[in-house]
């Protein structure tokens, strides 16, 4: 699989200076953690789940979570588990291309039970999403995952969800973060990414952000995200990939504020695209994706297929970013120093910008580098029309 693999080779060639690389479920954890992109969640109760997975793969989805937790009623869990087993067997029998597939469980015991019940179709499973992750719960989940991997002989990753009230509340946040850090460090080779449960954060205070506001506009949520990145997202080799929070909206809502998309990038034939994005409240999503990146997050939880392409389009590295990153990381710059960018519009300071440059080239590997005259508008338009 590859990002933008659903569009034709000719269109890809016109868009990319350097095309996204190919990867699969057996690729390194470093590559997969960067490649997750828009991780699309789906309730495990869907009766045609195998068809849904194949359909979304054809639309450019590379990672999905099949959910047994908050997206389904408590009374549906047993039936949803049985449905998962059937749908995995269906996918396995078709031998169709599938994205990275994860199952969001409720309790540690479900991990080993599901792995056994999946049988040979476990080969399609990349791992588990672990909800309400704390040091105590996390240890139990990760022990169960380790045992299931050993029993099945199949590599399994974990994606803990940081969403517990102890993490949100100021008086317990510090120790909760330190406990989570101890646990994920102990099982580092199994942690693909850490996910943020912002809906649960808001729930603890009876809050819900409007479609024209981002998670960062809710100050209590923004503060938690900052602290999570501070402790768990460091660029010194101790950090982990942390993914962006879910965007909840996908239908037209009554707007209070002006649209957040300027007209100038959409002049000409793309003006219709701008209107569509605004009508579906995706201008707020685009702003939140940019703020995710500015705050050190990579990838995003998605609950609607319309969110996938904007996440991926804004994950592509611009030609300017790529040029800066390459300049900073040239071997002859190892001693540091300051240089003017090739675009002559900024200062590149070698030592302070090195970690940014390394992260940028990692993103370039999996999402590609746009041609000099290609921006996110062209990437969005191509993905929607090809």
pLDDT cut 90: percent of the chain above it? 78
**With 80 as the cut, is the pLDDT of residue 202 above it?**
yes
Q: Which of 309, 262, 284, 302 is CA-nearest to residue 215?
A: 284
The predicted-structure confidence for 227-276, as pLDDT tens digits, reads as follows: 999 999 999 999 999 999 999 887 655 444 445 555 555 555 555 555 55
pLDDT of res. 268: 55
The predicted-structure confidence for 34-49, as pLDDT tens digits, reads as follows: 999 999 999 999 999 9
- Write b or e for each residue in 314-326: b if 16 or more Cβ atoms lie within 10 A of its Cβ, otherwise e: bbbbbbbbbbbbe
Read off the DSSP letter of residue 318.
P
**What is the rounded average pLDDT of the residues 170-196?**
97
Q: Could you tell me which residues are annotated as the binding site for Mg(2+)?
A: 171, 200
Q: What is the mean pLDDT of the chain?
A: 91
Give strand pairing partners of 16.
370
Rounded to 10 degrees, the C-alpha dihedral 147/188/161/85 comes to: -30
Least confident range from 11-25, 66-80, 142-156, 320-334: namely 320-334
The predicted-structure confidence for 93-116, as pLDDT tens digits, reads as follows: 998 899 999 999 999 999 999 999
What is the domain class of 24-315 according to CATH? alpha beta
pLDDT of res. 276: 54
What pLDDT band is residue 363 in, cutting at 50, 70 and 90? very high
**What is the rounded average pLDDT of the residues 182-209?**
94
**How far, rounded to the nearest angstrom, does the alpha carbon of residue 274 sit from its chain's CA centroid?**
24
**What is the rounded average pLDDT of the residues 47-65?**
97
What pLDDT band is residue 64 in, cutting at 50, 70 and 90? very high
| H/E stretch holding 64 | strand 63-67
pLDDT of res. 275: 54
**What is the rounded average pLDDT of the residues 56-70?**
96
Could you tell me the residue ranges of all domains in the chain?
1-20+316-386, 24-315
**With 70 as the cut, is the pLDDT of residue 385 above it?**
no
pTM: 0.91
Cβ atoms of 244 and 292 within 8 Å: the answer is: yes
pLDDT of res. 274: 54
Q: Which of 305, 334, 339 is CA-nearest to residue 52?
A: 305
**What is the rounded average pLDDT of the residues 283-309?**
93
pLDDT of res. 135: 97
Q: Could you tell me which residues are annotated as the binding site?
A: 171, 200
């Amino acid at each position: 699989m590859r990002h933008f693999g659903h569009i034709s080779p000719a269109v890809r060639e016109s868009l990319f200076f350097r095309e996204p690389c190919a990867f699969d479920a057996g690729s390194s954890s470093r590559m997969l953690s960067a490649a997750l992109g828009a991780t699309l969640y789906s309730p495990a109760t869907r009766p045609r789940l195998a068809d849904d997975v194949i359909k979304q793969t054809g639309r450019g989805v590379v990672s999905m979570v099949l959910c047994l937790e908050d997206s389904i009623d408590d009374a549906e869990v047993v039936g949803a588990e049985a449905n998962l087993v059937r749908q995995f067997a269906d996918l396995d029998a078709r031998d169709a291309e599938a994205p990275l597939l994860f199952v969001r469980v409720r309790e540690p015991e479900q991990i080993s039970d599901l792995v056994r019940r999946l049988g040979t179709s476990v080969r399609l499973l990349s791992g588990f999403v672990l909800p309400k992750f704390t040091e105590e719960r996390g240890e139990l989940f990760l022990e169960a995952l380790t045992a299931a991997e050993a029993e099945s002989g199949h590599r399994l990753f974990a994606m803990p969800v940081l969403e517990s009230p102890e993490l949100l509340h100021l008086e317990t946040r510090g120790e909760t973060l330190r406990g989570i850090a101890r646990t994920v460090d102990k099982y580092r080779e199994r942690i693909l990414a850490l996910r943020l449960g912002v809906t649960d954060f808001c729930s603890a205070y009876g809050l819900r952000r409007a479609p024209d506001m981002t998670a960062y506009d809710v100050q209590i949520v923004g503060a938690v995200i900052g602290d999570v990145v501070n402790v768990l997202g460091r660029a010194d080799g101790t950090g982990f990939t942390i993914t962006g929070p879910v965007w909840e909206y996908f239908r037209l809502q009554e707007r209070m504020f002006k649209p957040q998309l300027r007209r100038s990038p959409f002049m000409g034939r793309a003006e219709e695209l701008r209107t569509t994005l605004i009508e579906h409240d995706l201008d707020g999503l685009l702003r939140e994706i940019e703020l995710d990146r500015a705050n050190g997050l990579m990838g995003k939880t998605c609950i609607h297929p319309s969110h996938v392409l904007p996440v991926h389009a804004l994950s592509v590295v611009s030609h300017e970013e790529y040029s800066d990153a390459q300049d900073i990381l040239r071997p002859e710059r190892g001693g540091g120093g300051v240089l003017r960018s090739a675009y002559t519009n900024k200062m590149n300071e070698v030592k302070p910008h090195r970690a940014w440059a390394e992260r940028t080239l990692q993103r370039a590997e999996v999402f590609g580098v746009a041609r000099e005259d290609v921006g996110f508008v062209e990437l969005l338009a191509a993905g929607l029309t090809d």
